[in-house]
Structures are given as structure tokens and as C-alpha cells.
Chains A and B, each alone.
Chain A
Amino acid sequence: MKPKLIIGILAIIGFTSLLMYNFGESISTYTTFDEAETMNSAHIPGVWDQSQEYGFSMETKQFTFYMKDEAGNSRKVIYPKPKPNNFEQADRLVVIGELQGDIFYANEMLMKCPSKYNNADPAEFTKASES
């Protein structure tokens, strides 16, 4: 074999393995609060726990609420930004951040909303109310 070809193949193998390694490092798995205790950055899906207080504090400029993860545990979540607009509508949340003690500090929050792209809810055939 030509040396050039060998170098080329080695380069491709090296590049691919580095890329795949790095890719594997940069993704993580969706998890629960209990398992997040040991993680630096955890992605936790769950639903808003409406039985607890929630709201944005003008003083600390934080939005606080409780979220129930998929194992059914409810934890306090602190999000350092104003309440996202469609928070109440979201049927699923993903918080990304770090657990400290009993409190989850979310740096990012994704909301899965019943959007245009989803099937319309047959129960809501009236026009969305004007407010």
C-alpha cells in the first residue's frame, strides 16, 4: 500500500474516534433528581408540581417552582430568569442544571408545549379567549 493511503486511513480513523468520543462526552442522558446528585449538569424531565407555591421573586430575580420528575419525586427548582411565558401551558419540562442539597438550580429550562405541530385537543374547539 502507498504510504499516503495509510496516512489517510489513519487520519480518518483518528478523526472519527476523536469525534465520536467527544460526541459521547457532550451528550448525557435524561435522568431523575435522585440520580442527579452526583452529576454536574443533569437533564431532568418532569412536570410542574402545581400543589406547591411558585413564582418570580422581584428581589432575587429568580423564578422558583416545584417539579415532579419521572420517578415521582418533587423538588424545588430555581431558575435565574423571569418566568418563561408559556410555563403554565407546558405539559412537560426539562430542567438542565445542578442539584445542591434539595434544590435544583436550573441554568436552562425547555418547555414542551402543546403547539401547532401537535394534534389539536378535541376538547378545545372554542376560540382561544382574548384577554
Chain B
Amino acid sequence: MLGIAGKWLISASFVTALISVVFYFFASQRDDDKYFRIGNWFFGLKFVTLIAASVILIYLIFTHQFQYYYVFNYTSLDLQAKYLFSAFYGGQEGSFMLWILFSGLFGFGLMRWTRKPYQGPVLFFLAITQVFLLSMILGWDLGAAKIGASPFRTLAAEMPDAPIFRGNPGFVPSDGSGLNDLLKSPWMMIHPPILFVGFSMMTLPFCFALAALWKQKYNEWVGPALPWTLSSNVALLTAIFLGGYWAYVTLSFGGFWAWDPVENASLVPWLIGTAGIHTMIIQRKSSIAQKSSILFAILAYMAVVYETFLTRSGILADASVHSFVDLGLYNQLLIFMLFISGVGLGMFFWRYKELPNPEKESKILSREFMTFTGAVLLLVLGIVIILGTSSPIIGKLYTANPTPPEISFYNEWSMPIAIIMAVFTVLGQYLFWKKYDAESLASALINPLLITSALTLVSIIWGNVRDIYYMIYLFAGFFAIVGNTFVMVRLLKQKPKLIGGSLTHIGFGMLLVGVLASSVYNSPLLDENTSNYNAAVERGEVKDEMGFTVKQKQNSFLLNLDQPKVINGDYVVTYEGYSTEDQNRPGQQTYRLKFEPVNGGNTFYMNPELYPMLTSSNAQATQWSVDPDVKSGLLSDIYLYVAGSAYVEQRNKMQERRNQSVMQNVAARDTSEVPSEQTITFTRGQTVEVGSFKIKFVNYAATDTTELPPNTTIGVKAELELIHPASGDLVTIEPLFAVFSEEGQSYIYSPPAFVPQYDLEFQFTKINPEQNSIDITITGLEEEYQEEWVLIVAEKKPFISVVWGGTFLLMIGFSISIFRHWGRERLKS
């Protein structure tokens, strides 16, 4: 019932959005306030109906109505409330809803703050994008075509051919399949909403640019559009940062950026949006660059839509680990993209001749030229990344079955572009605040250049940089930091409100230096044997059994329990065991590794985790996931994860054994696989070491008559303690031993006591009165005693802190600019 209501509400939302488009059109065409107000009412109605639909979806999720596909597919009974909430936007359909809600919200902002003549057209274009986005979640079946995938469709509708629904159409699963464990992270709760804030804000400069073209007012639109673009930029940057940080601290791919198409999907709009910011600032200051500002605003939103198309149409299914699968939206997304590009570029070229031209060409040494060049470089970088990300489509020009480009493609192109950009930030910032000619600029730059050279030299020597290309890159990065700092210091003395730009450019320089240091100079942490082996591999001295030269190095080291190893000559690392109690996730182990710096310094611990992925494990196999631990330092981070451990191997073997015993019930049992039995004789108080356990016979314990068979002559329990030193676990077991008589015969009754977490079975089999000892038979112990070990993959990553620092400066700088431009806009109105 609720599902049908939800679907109707979305349809109503779609229809009202469509009506608002019509009214906004007339409002813009005739400059009529009446139409505009009616349009606003329908726009508001659209928002209210969508809010209602969202509330229904959230209600369905929280009440676990698993007959709905969306609820079934993204949630389960055991999910915590916060993740139930984030499941609302965890899937494709819900994330579209969130996106529309945000851009609807900003629509109200536009109604309130946009002046004439842009008012009508801006909302007209915004409403059009809303119509398109709403069509993605309609779920209308028009016979010839299906429009959208409804978040309210039922499981039965989603898979009508499933046997279970053929037999029982009313079937409701008892539990859902759950949210992917990797997404159960606080970072993932806030990352998507911020990303969609960024995407929806990026719509607004697009709307303003088109409104300017429509109304032939090419100058004033920049005033209100600039703060929106800056805000979108900060939101996207924050989202990118959160995504990168999440990847770094919870995924094991070892870094914060991997040029994955889905990561690129948020980077490209950011780059082009930032290009737009540059030209908008120029336009505002000098009343030139109208053409490029309009074009960049159109391109930035086209990038948002194009990247949405790439990640949601299923095109990238093979190229990216986290792109969505096609929900049947391919054609719709394609139409959306073609429409946005067609209308945007179409209107641009329609008015092209009319767009103002600068009266004279700007000189090379002018702020206009420098800033414009910066914008073009940002665009070029965006184009390079778009090209790489589009490899499944554009790669078809070269080969039938294209792979994604190698990472080096991105790096090789972005590096030189970044170098030029870094240099231009300094020249641009100098020229932005003061007029220089070549000579005076050169003399103003002497001090920054001296400091830059010194810094570069020091880092080349200290970091042992050999590559000339990296030297140039470092120089450019430091130049951006130092040069812009000079500008900032000067501004701080005069007008501190204006430092946004220079702060941003310092952040950019820091980002460049940090990225190089952390990605090129990260080094694996290894023990001596492994490093020697790798050195031999590098020299080409290692051959495999087949006689081929081994080229692959080892990147992990093994630690046995309580046996310290020297790692990299820097640390003595000791594996002190693990614990399985009081964990966030069921079945999680937290490992304890002690690091003692060789050259003094404080001892510290690292606690990487391993946990079973409940949503993707099944009875046949457990999927283990690693949660790395990062020890952050000012100069370098230690990043490490457990790639394997004795515990995990044991669990896997246990599972295999269980599966085999299940499988073999019918067929002849394979006796060789029967778990071993071991009988141990204890005296009271004695502790015996068996395999990786210690077992202590503490005492006899009294029994309860209800546990005993009738006619019992002896009934006693042994109180045993099973100690697992690696995890520090202590389990008390009380197996029973009883002798009873029946029809004159004596029988022994000794039911086995189970220890489920280790799959062991304890049976009290005998009492030896002469020795005052007892026999305990244990089933399930590993025959070959395995030592407790962990396999560690660790890396030292220098200056990641500089990457984060640079990102924060970018965010702060952009935010300062938002307040400045926003404040000025408010004064005008």
C-alpha cells in the first residue's frame, strides 16, 4: 500500500515539476510575476510530494519491509539505525531522490535571492533538470518503454521469474541482504550527501549561464552565480576528500586516490567548475571573459551529467569496482546528457556572435591572461581525465575490447599540467593585486625564488630525489607555496578578507608536493630477509623452478606470536596477539602489534582489524575483509593491514571441515578427514599445553541431580579452563562424568561439552582414583600444531599530512571567498 502511495507521490512530483517548467517558461518569456509565482507553487508542491515519498521510503526501511526490492537489497534486520538511514541514499534510486531534494532546496534559495531578469529563466532550467532526474525514479511501464526505476518496486516485480514467487506470490523474505560491510562506515554516511550537495549546486551556474544567454544580459549573472559555484566547489572538494580519506583508512588499496572512474566522476566537475570560478572572477573584475564564463558554467554541469551517465549506466561495470549496474536507465541517461549538452551548447552558439568581445587583447603579463590560462589548464586536465574515464567508449576507436588506461596515462598528463599551473598561480596572484611589467615582476619574485630554490634543494638532498622531472615538479610546487605566501602576507597587512585566493593557491602547492612525496616515495616496511630477497630480484638473480627470472617482489612479512622482528632497521615489531571481544562487528579480530623504534622514541601500538563480511559470506566460504590501521605522523604515516593470520586460516579450515561433514553424510565418509581425538590425563591444578591452547584442570565441581541419569552412583563435573594465549580468551568448561546402573549393569554417562568458538569437544572419559587424575578426551584439535602468526603488509607513506593540509587550505580559501562574494551580493540587494 505504502509502496503504491510512494510511487504515486513520485509521479505527482514529476508532473508538478513538469507544470512548473511550463509556468517558468511563460514567466521568463513574458516577464510576468504571476506566472512566476504559480511556477514557484508547483515547484514547492513537487518538493513536498518528493519529501513525502522519501519519508515513506525511510519508513519502509526502518520497518524492515523486505517485500520491497530496495529495502531488501540494501538493509537487514541487524543494521544499526544510522546505517538504516544512510541506506536511503545507499542505492541508485535513493541517491537520485537525495540529489533532487537538495537541488529542490537550492531552488528555494534561487527564488528568494535571484533578481530580475534572471529569476524566471534560472528556475526554468533548474526545473528542467529536476524533471529529468525525477524521470529516473518514476517506474512507469508504458508498454513500449519503461521509464525510470522506482525505489518502491517490489521484489516480486523485480524478479518475477524467481521460483519462489511462482510458487508463492505473496512471499516476503524474513531478512534483507544487508548493506555492504565496507559501506558501514561513518565516512560513507556523510560522503554521498555532501557529494550531492556539490552536484546540485553545480546546476546553478549552468542555470545562470543559460539565463544570461536567454535574456542577453551577459554581465550581471556572474555576481549571484559565483558564490554558488564556489560553494559547489567546496562541497565537491569535501566529498572528494572524505572519499579519499575513507579509502585510505578503511580500504586496503593503500592510498587515497586511484584514478578510479567513480573518483574521477567527482573530480572532473570540480576541475571545470574551478576553471569557471577563475573566468567569473575575471569577468566580475574586468568585464571581459563573458564567453568563457558562460561556456565553463555549461561545461561543468555537462561534466556532472556525463559522469553520472558513465557511473550509472553500467558502461563502467568492468572498469570500476564501485560503479552501478544498469537499471535500464541507459537510454534515459543518454537523453538527459544529450539534452543538457544540446541546449547548453546550442544556446551558447546561438548567441555567440552577440557575446561581448574584449576591446583589446590582454597582455601576457596581465591578471586576465594569467587567470584565463589557469582556467584553460584546469579544463585541459578535466578533458584528459574525461578521456581516460571514457575508455570503454572512446577506446573502441582503437580496439574492440578496450581496457581502462594505465594509471601512468593520468599521471603523465597531469604532472606537466600541474607544473605549469603551479607557476601560473604565483604569476597570476602577483599580477592580480598589483600591476607589474616584466622587470618589476622579476625583481619582486627574487626573494620567493631564492626561498623556493633553497627548499627544493633541501628536499632533493634529504629525500634523495634522483629524477630531474620530479625536481622540476617539486620546484613548481614549492614555488606555488612560497610565492603565494608572499602575496598572502602582503594582503594580510592590507585587507585580510581578500586572502581566499592566495590561501587556495598555497593549498594547491602543498597538495602537489604532498602527492608526489606520498605516492612516489612510499616504501614497503619489510624484514631483513624479505628486503634482501627483493634486492636480489631487482638484480635479476632469483630464478623460479622453471628457470625463469623472478620479477615479482614480496611485499609482506610474517610475525610469530611474541617473536620480535626488526623491520626496515627502524622498528622492532612484536605481534602480541589479538582479541575478539567487544567488537564493532561480529567476528571481528583486533590485532595487537607493538612497535619499538630502534633509535629510541616512544613505543606505540598498531591495531589493524580483520572481520568477516557478513553480507557477502555464506555457509560455503567466509569473505574476510581487512580494516587497515594508520599511524599518522607529521612527517610520515605508517599504514598497515593484516593480510592473513593463523586465526583466519583456522576458521576457514573449520568451515571446510563442517562443509565436508555435511556433504559426506550420504556418500561414503572420508575417514581420513575425521577430526583427531586426543586424550589428556590431568591431576588437579595441573595445566597442560596442547597445540595453541593451555588447559587447566581447576577442580571438581558439584553436579545438579537433574542433569544426572537415574540410579547414578558417581556424578561429578570437572571444572576446566581453556586458555588461548594469543587472544587472551579464557573459557570455562564443565564436562560431566557419571556412572549409573541399570538392570545390574554399570554404565558411564559422559556427554561432550562443546566450545563453539574453537570447534572443540571436551569429554570427561575417566577417573583414575589411584593417581587422583582424570582423563579428558578432546576432539577437533589441529593435529599439526600451528604457531600463531600474522602476515603483515605495511608501508611508510611520507607527508600524507601535507596532502590533507593542502586540501584543508583549499577548502578554507574557497570558503573565505564564498563569504566575501556572498557578502557583496547581499549588499547589492
Contacts and interface: CB of A to CB of B under 8 A. Distances in A.
A114 B122 CA distance: 43
Contacts of A129: 617-619
24 contacts: A19-B383, A27-B395, A27-B399, A27-B402, A29-B400, A43-B403, A61-B530, A80-B554, A83-B644, A85-B623, A85-B624, A85-B625, A86-B623, A102-B546, A113-B616, A115-B616, A122-B159, A125-B164, A125-B173, A127-B174, A127-B178, A128-B177, A130-B586, A131-B612
A115 B174 CA distance: 20
A22 B623 contact: no
A52 interface: no
Interface string A77-92: 0101111011011000
B554 A131 contact: no
Contact of B409 (A26, A80, A81): A26
B407 to A, nearest CB: 9
Contact of A128 (B388, B554, B614, B624): B614
Contacts of A116: 73-74, 90-91, 177, 179-180, 183, 615
Residue from the set A29, A43, A98, A101 with the largest chain B CB neighbour count within 10 Å = A29
Interface in B84-132: 90-92
Nearest to B76: A127
Nearest to A115: B180
Contacts of B791: 58, 61, 82
Nearest to B179: A116
A131 B651 contact: yes
Residue from the set A41, A60, A81, A127 with the largest chain B CB neighbour count within 10 Å = A127
A29 B174 CA distance: 44
B615 A128 contact: yes
B617 A131 contact: yes
Residue from the set A85, A89, A100, A114 with the largest chain B CB neighbour count within 10 Å = A85
Interface stretch (B292-300, B320-328, B465-473): B320-328
Interface string B379-392: 01001100110010
A15 B179 CA distance: 45
A128 B159 contact: no
Contacts of B72: 120
A122 B159 CA distance: 8
Interface in B535-567: 544, 546, 548, 551-556, 558
B617 A128 contact: yes
A56 B413 contact: no
Residue from the set A124, A129, A131 with the largest chain B CB neighbour count within 10 Å = A131
Contacts, number: 162
A130 B587 contact: yes
Given A27-B399, A80-B552, A112-B318, A120 B622 contact: no
Contacts of B554: 60-61, 80
Interface of A: 15, 19-20, 22-24, 26-31, 41, 43, 56, 58, 60-62, 78, 80-83, 85-86, 88-89, 94, 98, 100-103, 105, 107, 110, 112-120, 122, 124-131
Given A122-B163, A130-B587, 7 more contacts: A29-B400, A58-B791, A82-B644, A116-B91, A116-B179, A129-B617, A131-B612
B175 interface: yes
Contacts of A117: 92, 322-325
Nearest to B533: A61
B398 interface: yes
Give the interface SS of chain A, mostly helix, strand, loop or mixed: loop
Nearest to B556: A61
Nearest to A105: B552
B177 A120 contact: yes
Contacts of B616: 86, 89, 113-115, 128
A34 B553 CA distance: 25
A101 B548 contact: yes
Nearest to B66: A125
B553 A80 contact: yes
Contact of B159 (A43, A56, A114, A119): A119
B159 A19 contact: no
B269 to A, nearest CB: 20
Interface in B155-204: 158-159, 161-165, 173-175, 177-180, 183
A83 B179 CA distance: 24
Contacts of A78: 552
Pick the 6 closest A-B CB pairs, nearest first: A122-B162, A26-B409, A82-B643, A80-B552, A29-B399, A26-B405
A24 B384 CA distance: 13
Contacts of B548: 100-101, 103
Given A62-B552, A81-B556, A128 B73 contact: no
A102 B163 CA distance: 44
B772 interface: no
Contacts of A15: 380
B723 to A, nearest CB: 23
B621 interface: yes
B394 interface: yes
Contacts of A85: 613, 623-626
A129 B91 CA distance: 23
A29 B403 contact: yes
A24 to B, nearest CB: 5
A82 B556 contact: yes
A78 B552 CA distance: 9
Nearest to B172: A125
B531 interface: no
Contacts of B612: 130-131
B758 to A, nearest CB: 14
A124 B618 contact: yes
B398 A27 contact: yes
A22 B409 contact: yes
B556 A23 contact: no
A15 B376 CA distance: 13
B584 interface: no
B643 A22 contact: no
Contact of A23 (B90, B165, B388, B643): B388
A130 B617 CA distance: 8
Nearest to A79: B552
A23 B76 contact: no
Contacts of A101: 546, 548
Nearest to B619: A129
A86 to B, nearest CB: 5
Contacts of A118: 325
B404 interface: yes
B406 interface: yes
Nearest to B410: A26
Contact of B178 (A20, A62, A113, A128): A128
Contacts of A24: 397-398
